[in-house]
Amino acid sequence: MIFLSFIGISIILFPSISIFAAMITDIRFWSAPDHTRVVLDLTEPIQYESSFQEKPLQLHLELKGTSLTTQKREVEVNDPLLTKISLIDLGKDKVKLVLHQKKTLNANIYALKPYLDKPHRLVIDLVDLVQEKKEQEERQKQKEVRPKGTKIVVIDPGHGGEDPGAVGPKKTMEKDIVLKVGEKMIHFLNQNKEIQAFLTRKGDYFIPLEERIKIAREYGADLFISLHTDGSFNPQARGSSIYCLSLSGATDEAAKILDDKENMSNVLGGAFLRPASIVKDPNLNQILLDLMQNNSMKESLRFAEYLLEDIKVVNQLKYPSYRQANFIVLKAPDIPSVLMEMAFITNKEDERLLKRNDFQEKMAKSLITSVKKYFKP
């Protein structure tokens, strides 16, 4: 024992040699219509070398200074892009990651630092450029084929994929609830001949915030509604709130924090997905842009007033009026946009409501009542 305590330092140091090798603790994937995102959880950042193989079509990543602690060796994917993912232990602190492709894909590989409860991550986005273009063209076509007088509403279920949003005490995830309400809204809205409604995301995957606006614009949206559920460290906080864009900064401190919370989605979900595709038109005249923005804001506030009226029948309001904050998803100068926090998922009672099908339906229907009022000539 004495001997051990004398060489205590080297005993402590010895096992730390293997600690220096990064460990892969988990592997996940998220399927979007035009890309599949594969995420490796790591204890340390790692070095890797990637190569494509033609026959069979595979992307190989040789991960260096790495060992496996996850039991997963084969992950079945079977989405339109990949069949499966394999992890092969090569020994000597080397692991090979093989992505089995169904078609030719482009790879975007990047590391994410630890953030909140997320560890170091290596993200591999496999993008189907053909499908991506097709989706975009289909959205743009909607704009052209719409009957005269038809209004287009784009519903944006917040978060998705790697980014769960706020999580309730019973582990209910914001990303799932907002998608469910969004789907219900689309269903009810499309029963009106004069309205066509679309979702920004149709499944459990992440879309960068700027990309959501781009999608709305491609559809030619007349109105954009981003759906969220609120989260707070205070378990007592509850109720619905409506947010519009603020041009002069956040209304108050609370909105500033919220602002942060919603916008950090990009950090959580990994917003590094083809940033070049976010087009900034340098020719847009600033004055014209300001005029447009002012009009969109005025229209957003008009819609927000209707929403407050109709929502309070379904759930108590957190604030008697709409709030203003600098959410990225509200920054389209050309589309009236609101962000709605339906209820506090971090409150036991609100979480219970949010999970209920009849509450989701009531919420969707009251939103639609407001949409109809808004479009009424």
How far is CA 246 from each of CA 283, 339, 343, rounded to the nearest angstrom?
24, 12, 21
CA-to-CA distance for 235 and 224, rounded, in angstroms?
A: 30
Q: Which residues bind Zn ion (CB under 5 A)?
A: 158, 165, 228
> Is the peptide bond prior to 147 cis by the omega test (within 30 degrees of 0)?
no
| CA-based radius of gyration for the chain | 24
Cβ 102 vs Cβ 83: under 8 Å: yes
Residues in a beta bridge with 107: 126
SS3 340: strand
Residue 218 or 230: the one with the smaller Cβ distance to Zn ion is 230
Rounded to the nearest whole angstrom, what is the least distance from the CB of residue 118 to Zn ion in the complex? 16
Rounded to the nearest whole angstrom, what is the least distance from the CB of residue 158 to Zn ion in the complex? 4
In 3D space, the residue among 84, 78, 129, 131 whose CA is nearest the CA of residue 107 turns out to be 129
Residue 36 or 229: the one with the smaller Cβ distance to Zn ion is 229
Q: Taking CA 98 as the corner, what is the angle to CA 95 and CA 100, rounded to the nearest 5 degrees? A: 170
Residue 34 or 262: the one with the smaller Cβ distance to Zn ion is 262
Rounded to the nearest whole angstrom, what is the least distance from the CB of residue 343 to Zn ion in the complex? 12
Residue 165 or 182: the one with the smaller Cβ distance to Zn ion is 165
Residue 228 or 323: the one with the smaller Cβ distance to Zn ion is 228
Residue nearest Zn ion, Cβ-based: 228
The edge-to-edge listing of strands for the beta sheet with 120-127 is 66-68, 22-31, 35-42, 120-127, 106-112
Residue 158 or 270: the one with the smaller Cβ distance to Zn ion is 158
Strands 58-64 and 94-101: antiparallel
DSSP letter assigned to residue 240: B
Rounded to the nearest whole angstrom, what is the least distance from the CB of residue 4 to Zn ion in the complex? 52
Rounded to the nearest whole angstrom, what is the least distance from the CB of residue 216 to Zn ion in the complex? 17
Rounded to the nearest whole angstrom, what is the least distance from the CB of residue 339 to Zn ion in the complex? 8
Residue 158 or 182: the one with the smaller Cβ distance to Zn ion is 158
Q: Token pair of 32, please?
A: 């979007």
Cβ count near 34 (within 10 Å): 19
Residue found under tokens 């309205």: 195
Residue 151 or 238: the one with the smaller Cβ distance to Zn ion is 238
Rounded to the nearest whole angstrom, what is the least distance from the CB of residue 24 to Zn ion in the complex? 29
Rounded to the nearest whole angstrom, what is the least distance from the CB of residue 13 to Zn ion in the complex? 45
Q: Taking CA 259 as the corner, what is the angle to CA 256 and CA 262, rounded to the nearest 5 degrees? A: 155
